[in-house]
């Protein structure tokens, strides 16, 4: 059963997460998700974490620096926002919570957004940041990719692109409520439609083409050879099937996969870090897992 804290704050979460295209704040209908950015601002400030503005591979970025962290380990956090919204500022607290739990620094880059920059610009930016870290002496095995929603897609797809190009891979991947299915074909788009306050089939079918820029959705990837993957989603979100189907695909390919499904939780509920115990528990579990995978 969901916590009292979640029940008390659910209305606030819902108000920040309009799931229909008509409900979005829009200069161009169905494209601008600035209202949804408020969801991530609901997180509490993580204790003992400082921030530094900077740049990585030519992209504006923020470093989240937990006290007593291992400077050799880096968590690259790709923010959510449907590929068209979100920023290093909206997601710095969520990334800071995860970095603190993992005992490492987090780098949150402002990757290029659609519709001005369509696929594969976001993956190119992610790969460039990875190579930038390696060029500065960071071992790939000590780098983790992480993200939520569309950022979870980027964290996963960027690793797949690196594998395809026979380049060095990160040591681990964490994806919170990842959005993989551009065609909204999963069963939970129907079974969880009434419960999900954030993501609808209409929204996915609107934003997917904006991100893809006229390209057709890709065939299911071959995850064989990926580093260990930690997936988390809520039992009341339409993207539950995205996480579950990818977990099954990756396991069949021999990938080390953890899948966490939180009862009664919504899309990217980790955005309530520091305020809802379910969010804190998920981040703590992901952080512990990252410590193990990165050799903390």
Give the model's pLDDT for residue 27: 39
Element (H, E) at 130: helix 121-135
* pLDDT at residue number 293: 98
pLDDT tens column, 169-201 = 999 999 999 999 999 999 999 999 999 988 999
Residue-level pLDDT at 17: 61
Radius of gyration of the chain (CA): 17
Find the CATH number of the domain harbouring 66. Answer: 3.40.50.1820
Domain residue limits at 62: 4-294
Of 277, 276, 221, 271, the residue nearest 249 (C-alpha): 221
Question: Structurally, how many domains does the chain consist of?
Answer: 1
Q: Residue ranges of the chain with pLDDT lower than 70?
A: 8-9, 12-13, 15-38, 296
Give Cβ neighbours of residue 42 (< 8 Å, ≥ 6 apart): 9, 12, 13, 16, 271, 272, 275
Tokens found for residue 113: 């957004």
pTM: 0.93
d(CA 2, CA 286) in angstroms, rounded, equals 19
Q: Contact 74/138 with Cβ under 8 angstroms?
A: yes
pLDDT at position 18: 52
Backbone angles phi, psi at 2, to 5 degrees: -60, 155
Q: Which residues contact 134 (CB under 8 A, 6 or more apart)?
A: 140, 143, 168
Predicted pLDDT at 16: 66
Beta carbons within 8 Å of 53's beta carbon, 6+ residues apart: 60, 61, 62
Residues in the chain: 296
| pLDDT given for residue 26 in this prediction | 42
């Amino acid at each position: 059963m969901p916590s009292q804290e979640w029940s008390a704050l659910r209305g606030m979460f819902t108000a920040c997460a309009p799931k229909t295209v008509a409900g979005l704040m829009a200069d161009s209908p169905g494209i601008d998700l600035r209202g949804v950015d408020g969801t991530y601002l609901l997180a509490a400030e993580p204790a003992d974490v400082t921030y530094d503005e900077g740049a990585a591979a030519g992209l504006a970025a923020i470093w989240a620096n937990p006290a007593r962290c291992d400077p050799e380990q880096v968590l690259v956090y790709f923010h959510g926002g449907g590929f068209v919204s979100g920023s290093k500022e909206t997601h710095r607290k969520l990334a800071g919570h995860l970095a603190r739990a993992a005992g490492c620094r987090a780098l949150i880059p402002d990757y290029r957004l659609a519709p001005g920059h369509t696929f594969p610009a976001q993956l190119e930016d992610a790969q460039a940041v990875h190579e930038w870290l390696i060029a500065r002496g960071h071992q790939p095995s000590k780098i983790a990719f992480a993200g939520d929603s569309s950022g979870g897609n980027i964290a996963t797809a960027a690793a797949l692109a690196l594998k395809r190009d026979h380049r060095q891979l990160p040591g681990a991947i964490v994806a919170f409520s990842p959005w993989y299915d551009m065609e909204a074909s999963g069963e939970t788009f129907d079974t969880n439609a009434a419960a999900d306050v954030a993501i609808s089939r209409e929204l996915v079918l609107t934003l997917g083409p904006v991100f893809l820029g006229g390209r057709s959705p890709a065939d299911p990837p071959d995850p064989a050879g990926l580093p260990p993957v930690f997936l988390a989603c809520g039992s009341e979100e339409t993207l539950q099937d995205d996480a579950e189907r990818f977990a099954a695909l990756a396991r069949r390919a021999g990938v080390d996969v953890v899948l966490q499904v939180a009862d009664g939780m919504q899309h990217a509920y980790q955005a309530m870090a520091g305020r809802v115990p379910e969010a804190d528990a998920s981040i703590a579990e992901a952080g512990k897992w990252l410590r193990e995978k990165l050799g903390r």
